[in-house]
């Protein structure tokens, strides 16, 4: 994913990309129903992976993310040359992205499962964490 940090005072004000890695931790009580094929699981990893893939990865992978306050002329110019342009109502920093991802993932979890935390690696040495207890 690529982004621009609008009005930033460093090189990240230019279009640049990252190979993000997102780690998701959920919590809940393992299913105790003896007749359930999911017995002993809080949630099937396959189902969690599908949520992340369908609502985060497929949307943001190979996209350019811009703040809605970006110059409208620039947005229109980019739209002519890009298939995947995402306009968000926030500065697309890793801190804001991980909060947005948390909201998206939470809205798709089963009723008995809670989002515990997310860790979004922006580079090999830099990451942002989001914890439910802090939000």
Q: Which residues are catalytic?
A: 12, 62, 122
Q: Which two tokens stand for residue 127?
A: 């990451």
Helix (H) or strand (E) holding 60: helix 58-60
Pick the closest to residue 124 from 18, 32, 26 (CA basis): 18
Q: Which two tokens stand for residue 60?
A: 């943001």
Q: Which two tokens stand for residue 64?
A: 């350019």
Spatial strand order of the sheet with 21-28 comes to 21-28, 113-121, 127-131
Residue 94 to residue 122: CA distance in whole angstroms? 7
Q: How many other C-beta atoms can be found within 10 angstroms of the C-beta atom of residue 130? A: 21
């Amino acid at each position: 994913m690529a982004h621009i940090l609008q009005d930033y005072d460093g090189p990240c004000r230019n279009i640049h990309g990252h190979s993000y890695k997102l780690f998701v931790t959920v919590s809940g009580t393992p299913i105790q129903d003896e007749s359930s094929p999911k017995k002993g699981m809080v949630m099937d990893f396959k189902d969690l992976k599908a949520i992340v893939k369908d609502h985060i990865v497929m949307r943001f992978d190979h996209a350019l993310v811009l703040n809605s306050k970006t110059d409208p002329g620039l947005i229109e110019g980019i739209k002519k040359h890009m298939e995947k342009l995402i306009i968000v109502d926030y500065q697309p920093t890793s801190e804001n992205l991980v909060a947005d991802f948390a909201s998206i993932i939470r809205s798709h979890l089963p009723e008995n499962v809670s989002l515990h935390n997310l860790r979004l690696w922006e580079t090999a040495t830099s990451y942002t964490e989001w914890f439910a207890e802090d939000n």
